[in-house]
Amino acid sequence: MKKRYSIFTVMFSLLAGLPTLFAQLRLPAIIGSHMVLQQNSEVKLWGWCAPSEKIKINTTWDTTTYSAVGSGNAKWSVTVKTPAAGGPYKISIQGNSSIELDDVMVGEVWVCSGQSNMEMNVNWGLPYQDEVAHANNKSIRFFHIPKTTAEYPQDDVAAKWAVCNPEDMKRFSAVGYFFGKKIQQELNAPVGLINGSWGDTRRSMDARRPGRKESDLETSRQAT
């Protein structure tokens, strides 16, 4: 009887702590310090919090206070107006706790998507070592989405924004980098590059689908 009571007590304690764990104010990786937001636009900021938690968002590019309330599924979102290209700025998000985002730029945001032509980078052996040596540009920011698979759509990724530097430039899409460099120079505005490329995507995704047999994969490839 004592053993059963002890196990029940432990389980109750763990379950009681779950609401606190999942109700913490937090943001997806795509919204973070060093990010770039699209200029002269309305952008959506979102995250997670406790249900009914009151959230306030302030930016240093204007004096507006934006408000949101946590939904029943512990999510919040708000639409924020952005100015013309510039920065760096700060964004303050306050609820039961607070988050401060630093070095936020406003400019042009582009998604670099595709297969191997977009994915290839200097680490693949491309002859751009001279470019790498000078790849320090605070007006270009990288967000590289890692290759992961899942059975269902995901609402977050294990990544973070990085200011352009030689090491991150070598790992980033070469096409994306040179495109970003060109428009940054022509527009004289910060550029955010989001790399979601994956070479041979269809086969890679099929091969990782649980329960799929090799014979099924071959039939699918022949059909397409």
Query: How does pLDDT run across 108-130, given as a tens digit for each residue?
Result: 999 999 888 898 988 889 888 99
Domain span at residue 95? 25-209
> Would you give the DSSP letter of residue 103?
E
223 belongs to a structural domain:
no
Are the CB atoms for 57 and 65 separated by under 8 Å?
Answer: yes
User: How many domains does the chain contain in total?
Assistant: 1
Would 221 be classed as within a structural domain?
no
> Residues near 27 by Cβ (< 8 Å), separated by ≥ 6?
45, 46, 47, 48, 93, 99
Q: Is 97 left (phi over 0), alpha (psi -120 to 50) or beta?
A: beta
CATH number of the domain where residue 203 is located? 2.60.40.10
Asked if residue 10 belongs to a domain, the reply is no
Instruction: Examine residue 194 and state whether it is found in any structural domain, yes or no.
Output: yes
Give this prediction's pTM. 0.79
Q: Which residues contact 53 (CB under 8 A, 6 or more apart)?
A: 23, 25, 69, 70, 76, 95, 96
Task: Give percent above pLDDT 90 in the chain.
Answer: 68
Q: How many residues does the chain have?
A: 224
What tokens appear for 156 in the block? 């977050």
Q: Tell whether 186 is covered by a domain.
A: yes
What tens digit of pLDDT does each residue of 73-96 get? 999 999 999 999 999 999 999 999
pLDDT at 65 over 50: yes
